[in-house]
Structure 1
Amino acid sequence: MRPTVLQPTAGSVAMRGRGRRIAAACLGAAVLLLAACQAQPEFRPLTSEAPPPPTFVTVPTDPGCEAARAGYALGRPVAQPLLEELLARTGSGSVRTSAAGEPPPAPADPKRLNLDVDAQGRITAARCG
């Protein structure tokens, strides 16, 4: 008995060709959908209407008040000897105490040390100005 060899028929060859065409059409549709989803960049011409670049200002450092040196006094009660020591350590010209959360004084003085004091009379913050 001879083995049966299957020969491709005209219909099966045509089916393979049709399947490839369908796959190619699906792939093309997918590519078009993905291309349609991409956002187009906004055209922004360079004109003289563009704002100028920012300028940077160097603030001169005045060694008149260094509030960072008052950190040791945070949490301590306000007393005259402590205020005198703060004046000496920070290099400030004067000291002002105010209730915590109160706005800074109207005439700002960069050489003045401002101390925020809580209801118990303890220093909660120190800053210059």
Structure 2
Amino acid sequence: MPILQQSGFISSPRARGAMAGGLCAATLFIAGCQAQPKFRPLTSEAPPPPVLVTVPAEEACQAGQARYALGRPFNPPLLEEMRTRTGSKSARSSAAGTPLPPPGDPARLTVDVDPQGLVVAARCG
């Protein structure tokens, strides 16, 4: 079966498909190169920067002041004493290694307690 007829057209269906695919690809390539980007003018309408919350010094939690309680048996009076010594507004306890929600209150003391009931860590948040 001849590929070229006397009129100069390609007669093979396979060759016609390849030619049509190449023509479509070239058309899309040229159209993509000619697409204009969206114009975005520079303006002063930028959003304001985020506001960072600062905790006043008298409300700040100082977890380092709770080091005296490491290794001691945990109980509610010890938690209250730790809260007072660290200057925290509130305090909570959690099992060591248990994931907690992200800290929402930097003035809160969080005390980690191991399975034996001993204080293993203290942190703010």
% same residue: 58
Q: Secondary structure of 1:69's partner?
A: helix
Q: Secondary structure of 1:101's partner?
A: coil
Please give the alpha-carbon distance, in whole angstroms, between the structure 2 residues aligned to 1:107 and 1:70. Answer: 18
* Inter-CA distance 93–101: structure 2 relative to 1 (3 Å threshold): same
| TM, length-normalised to structure 2 | 0.51
Number of paired residues? 72
Correspondence for 1:97: 93
Correspondence for 1:118: 114
Match of 1:68 among 46, 53, 64: 64
Larger radius of gyration: 1
- Where structure 2 has 5 or more consecutive residues not aligned to the other structure, the ranges are 1-51
> Which aligned pairs between 1:1-129 and structure 2 lie closer than 5 A?
60=54, 62-63=56-57, 64=59, 65-106=61-102, 108-129=104-125
> In the TM superposition, what whole-angstrom CA distance separates every residue of 1:90-109 from its partner, at most 9, and x where no partner exists?
00011111111112334521
Please give the alpha-carbon distance, in whole angstroms, between the structure 2 residues aligned to 1:120 and 1:110. Answer: 28
| TM, length-normalised to structure 1 | 0.50
Q: Secondary structure of 1:114's partner?
A: strand
> In the TM superposition, what whole-angstrom CA distance separates every residue of 1:63-109 from its partner, at most 9, and x where no partner exists?
32100000000111111221111111000011111111112334521
Q: Secondary structure of 1:98's partner?
A: strand
Q: Secondary structure of 2:82's partner?
A: helix
Aligned-pair Cα RMSD in Å: 2.1
Please tell me the residue identity of whatever aligns with 1:127: R
* Inter-CA distance 62–122: structure 2 relative to 1 (3 Å threshold): farther
Please give the alpha-carbon distance, in whole angstroms, between the structure 2 residues aligned to 1:71 and 1:107. Answer: 20
Deviation of the 1:114 alpha carbon: 0.4
Please give the alpha-carbon distance, in whole angstroms, between the structure 1 residues aligned to 2:56 and 2:122. Answer: 17
